[in-house]
Amino acid sequence: MTGRTTDESRRLAKRLAEEISRLAVRPIRLMEVCGSHTVAIFKAGLRQLLPAQVELVSGPGCPVCVTPNEYLDTAVAYSRQPGVIIATFGDMLRVPGSSSSLAAAKMAGADIRIIYSPLESLDIAAANPTKTVIFLAVGFETTAPTAAATILAAEQAGLANWFALSAHKLVPPALRALLEAGGTRIDGLILPGHVSAVIGEAPYRFLAEEYRMPAVIAGFEPLEILQAVHSLARWLRLGEPRLANQYRRVVKPEGNPVARAVLGRVYGEADAAWRGLGVIPASGLVVRKEYQRFDARRKIPVEPEAAREPDGCRCGEVLRGMISPEACLLFRQACRPENPVGSCMVSAEGACAAWYKYGSGRWQG
Ligand code: SF4
């Protein structure tokens, strides 16, 4: 496992893998929804440790990956407007849009600043009162409360030149859409720990109740992931679809009500477009009427180019667990982390980037 893993952990991991092998009497296909799980699984070499009949597939839980080109094209178009400063996390910079990227716009002279906290974008706005600062607000339930708090802070600071270009997304509606769409077999879900820390357990109940889909909220340590796989294999064997929270040291059953209150104050639910999944009902967040003066789309006219997907990129199928990145003809060829063709190769949490970096890894036990 990792360098910090003790002999005891290795023994436990092997024992869990043996038990999983015994429980999985037929091929089972489990989706790790979250990109952080994908990376943890690869880093520890868990795919190699698990028996051949247990397949792990990556899901749509990488926010940069699921952000559609229309959003990127809009951000690029804003960046080209005179007097605009774009404030963004670094991942977004290299994501290819339809014909350009923020990195290319920056090279061409656009004022694009990398930030590490949304609050930094407020400092940039305060320091540049004659400029228009647009913060790129992308992410799931994990980061959306901070973006909401930043909008409240902008209001408190009386900033008139700060705006958010929001594309926050909600995980449970995407899971429902994934299961409704079919097209790929999924026998169980490893649910995202960080998202769950905000939303709690209740929003996932439909998985077992409506779709008979077992699911586990899991931590990110190799043993925690193996434990989740073990539970799923056991319930599948027993024919008992259950929802379990096995990350209780972080995820409270009720989630984080304070974070959700901030979120609910600033944002309301709306349909949202996901790369690979299309428009999913009530799967996104839009700024409420009371805060629309901070909504870039409402306040600053822009004309992005018509969005189109890169030729040959199969990111959408990767995000739905239909194919592994290696099935894409561009993987490791035209598409590499230093020259990504699609969004799944950009973020460290993207499935294609993880397969590229760790795909040949072996269990370190
Ligand atoms: S390898 Fe690159 S081109 Fe292929 S699906 Fe992944 S991101 Fe898209």
355 lines ligand 1 (CB under 6 A): no
CB 309 within 8 A of CB 69: yes
Residue 364 has pLDDT above 70, yes or no: no
Closest CA to 83 of 11, 161, 146, 196: 161
pLDDT at 206 over 90: yes
Label residue 365 by pLDDT band (50, 70, 90): very low
Residue 360 has a pLDDT of 55
Q: Which atom of ligand 1 is nearest to the CA of 328?
A: 4
Give the residue with greater pLDDT, 229 vs 348: 229
pLDDT for 8 equals 85
Nearest to 295 by CA among 106, 127, 154: 154
Q: Provide the sign of the torsion angle of the four alpha carbons 146, 147, 148, 152, taken in this order.
A: positive
* Single-letter amino acid code for the residue at 137: A
Query: Has residue 362 got a pLDDT over 70?
Result: no
The pLDDT score that the predictor gives to residue 50 is: 95
Cα–Cα distance for residue pair 365/347, rounded to 1 Å = 27
pLDDT reported for residue 1? 43
pLDDT digits (tens, 9 = 90+) for 226-263: 999 999 999 999 999 999 999 999 999 999 999 999 99
- For residue 40, the model assigns a pLDDT of 93
Inter-CA distances, 293 with 152, 202, 329, Å: 12, 33, 45
> Is the CB of residue 280 below 6 angstroms from any atom belonging to ligand 1?
no
Domains of the chain in sequence order: 7-64+177-245 (3.40.50.11750), 68-170+276-299 (3.40.50.11740), 315-358 (no CATH)
Q: How far is the CA of 305 from the centre of ligand 1 (A)?
A: 22
Burial 174-191 (b: 16+ CB within 10 A, else e): bbbbbbeeeebebbbbbb
Mean per-residue pLDDT over the chain, rounded: 94
Q: Residue 272: beta bridge partners? A: 280
User: Ligand 1 atom 1: the closest Cα is on which residue?
Assistant: 331
Give residue 9's pLDDT: 85
**pLDDT value of residue 152:** 98
With 0-12 / 13-18 / 19 or more C-beta atoms within 10 angstroms meaning exposed / middle / buried, residue 314 is buried
Point out the ligand 1 atom lying closest to the alpha carbon of residue 331. 1
Please say if the pLDDT value at position 6 is more than 90.
no
Q: Enumerate residues 6+ apart whose C-beta is below 8 A from 345.
A: 335, 336, 337, 352, 353, 356
pLDDT, tens digit, 9 for 90 and up, residues 84-118: 999 999 999 999 999 999 999 999 999 999 999 99
| Ligand 1 mutation target, pool 58, 330, 346, 356, most atoms within 8 A of CB | 330
d(CA 76, CA 62) in angstroms, rounded, equals 21
| DSSP, res 245 | E
Mean pLDDT value across residues 356-361: 76
Mutation to probe ligand 1, out of 345, 346, 355, 356 (largest number of atoms < 8 A from CB):
345
Write out the two tokens for 118: 């949304």
Q: How far apart are the first and last CA of the chain?
A: 5
Question: Which pLDDT does position 305 carry in this prediction?
Answer: 94
In a 10 Å sphere around its CB, with 0-12 CB exposed, 13-18 middle and 19+ buried, how is residue 136 labelled? buried
Cα 75 to Cα 65, 86, 238: the distances in Å are 15, 8, 49
**Residue 153, token pair as written in the block:** 């802070």
330 close to ligand 1 (CB < 6 Angstrom): yes
pLDDT tens figures, 111-168: 999 999 999 999 999 999 999 999 999 999 999 999 999 999 999 999 999 999 999 9
pLDDT digits (tens, 9 = 90+) for 279-320: 999 999 999 999 999 999 999 999 999 999 889 999 999 999
55 CA to middle of ligand 1, Å? Answer: 20
What pLDDT shows up at residue 330? 97
The whole-number pLDDT of residue 183 equals 82
* 320 within 8 A of 183, measured Cβ to Cβ: yes
Strands 267-274 and 278-287: antiparallel
Total Cβ atoms within 10 A of residue 120: 15
Element (H, E) at 190: strand 188-191
Q: 302, 344 in Cβ contact below 8 A? A: no
pTM of the predicted protein model: 0.92
Q: What pLDDT, on a 0 to 100 scale, did the predictor assign at position 150? A: 98
The conformation of residue 61, written as its DSSP 8-state character, comes to: E
**Average pLDDT for residues 68-84, to the nearest whole number?**
97
Distance 349 CA to ligand 1 centre (A): 13
How would residue 3 be classed by pLDDT, with cut points 50, 70 and 90? very low
Instruction: Note whether 169 and 222 are within 8 A (CB).
Output: no
Q: Could you report the per-residue pLDDT of 39-52, keeping only the tens digit for each?
A: 999 999 899 899 99
Kindly state the average pLDDT of the residues 188-201.
97
- Residue of 65, 335, 355 to mutate, ligand 1, most atoms within 8 A of C-beta: 335
Q: How far is CA 336 from CA 50, 326, 342, 358, in A?
A: 27, 12, 9, 13
pLDDT at 51: 94
Q: How far is the CA of 310 from the centre of ligand 1 (A)?
A: 9
What is the distance between the alpha carbons of residues 239 and 231, in angstroms, rounded to a whole number? 12
Protein residue whose Cα sits closest to atom 7 of ligand 1? 342
Tell me the three state secondary structure of residue 354. helix
| Residues belonging to the chain | 365
Q: If pLDDT is split at 50, 70 and 90, which confidence band does 264 have?
A: very high
Does residue 182 register a pLDDT over 90? no
* 319 within ligand 1 shell (Cβ under 6 A): no
- 84 C-alpha to ligand 1 centroid (Å): 31
Cβ–ligand 1 distance for 325 under 6 Å, the answer yes
